[in-house]
Amino acid sequence: MNSELLAKLSEITDEEKQILAGSNIELSTYVSNSRSVVDSRKMLDKGRLITIRPHTRFAVFPKHRHNYIEIMYMCSGQTVHTINDSERLVLKAGELLLLNQHAYHSIEKAELSDIAVNFIVLPEFFDVALEMIGTDNLLADFLLSSLQAESSSGSYLYFKVADVLPVQNTIENMVWSIVNSQPNNRKINQATMGLLFLQLLNCTQMLSVPKAVGCNNALVVEALRIIEEDYKTAELSDVSERHGVSLAYVSRLVKEATGQTFKQLLQQKRLAKSARLLRETKLSVQDIIAAVGYDNTSYFYRLFTNSFGVSPKEYRKL
């Protein structure tokens, strides 16, 4: 991270000065009605959808959750979290922790060199990011649903991306933009968040998920990733063989997590991609059929017509 920016984030705050003088963290600074729910109204100026604040050091931050989505980025050092009373997670420099509104966590005392930035984000801020990702990205839908879920089992996403330069650059750009207010700030930050999400979709192999569903969730994420990255030739058996589990087991996990079979999800992706190619290119229908992984023209026509209500040629004219 830029040395000037890191120095600014490292400054000892008034709250930290009080802690060093013998005080504890004053929860009334963060919460309103509930003593354990950090309130966005206390953290965000009226009308703002996102802000950042350095994590408070020199004291244990007691168990709490948020009524917003929190993204914690470790600039230097580390922080140690206990999530949902059961999982211990060490967030190291360059790593990202995304927590939804239903995840409880406490944080052990951070020292002077443990510099973390908390992004405080209202859900509506992500509208632009979702548009950038697109509506046909199954992997993005699955990961984002984890952040929106009521269940604590899907309440956080932990990305070990310290060595991924594009992610580091994107986060630093966003931190700089928020710290140094500039014209068109909201649009710039929303677009940058979209770029960050797109980069993170390339890093799902570096994703850790709650232990309660960790192995299962990792298998589902990998299955969805091969659909996104290799929909033309994707086979669920590649996942089962790589992890030494049965095809039936992985198939069941995918169905339980998404409500659809692998075959249905793959078909959905191929048809969405073919529709986009029909709209945005001049490729022949036959070339599009081959590009998305089908070799039976009549079968593709039947699937496409059942899905969109018109034939591929008619769809292109709409």
| DSSP assignment letter at 68 | S
Give the total number of structural domains in the chain: 3
Residue 84 and residue 10 share a domain: yes
pLDDT on residue 152: 42
Domain end point (choices 188, 208, 228): 208
Structure confidence by residue, pLDDT tens digits, 31-66 = 887 778 898 888 988 888 899 999 999 999 999 888
Does residue 237 register a pLDDT over 50? yes
pLDDT in tens, 165-211: 999 999 999 999 999 887 888 889 999 999 998 898 888 778 876 65
CATH of the domain at 84: 2.60.120.280
Q: Name the pLDDT band for 242 (thresholds 50, 70, 90).
A: confident
The label of the residue with tokens 């929190």 reads 70
Distance CA 266, CA 154 (A): 23
Same domain, 204 and 123: yes
Backbone phi, then psi, for 113, in 5-degree steps? -90, 0
pLDDT, tens digit (0-9, with 9 covering 90-100), for 124-156: 888 888 788 776 676 677 666 655 555 544 478
Indicate whether 57 and 173 sit together in one domain.
yes
- Residues 248-271 have pLDDT tens digits of 999 998 888 788 899 999 999 999
Q: How confident is the model over 85-107, as a mean pLDDT?
A: 91
Percent of the chain with pLDDT over 90: 53
Provide the pLDDT for residue 225.
84
Nearby residues of 264 by Cβ (< 8 Å), 6 or more positions away: none
Cβ–Cβ under 8 Å, residues 258 and 221:
no
Both 187 and 40 in one domain: the answer is: yes
In this prediction, residue 111 carries a pLDDT of: 96
Quote the domain boundaries for residue 254: 214-259
Same domain, 156 and 34: yes
Spatial contact of 91 and 116, defined as CB atoms under 8 Å apart: yes
Q: Which of 4-18, 72-86, 113-127, 213-227 has the lowest mean pLDDT?
A: 213-227
Looking at every residue in the chain, the average pLDDT score rounds to 87
More confident residue, 153 or 225: 225
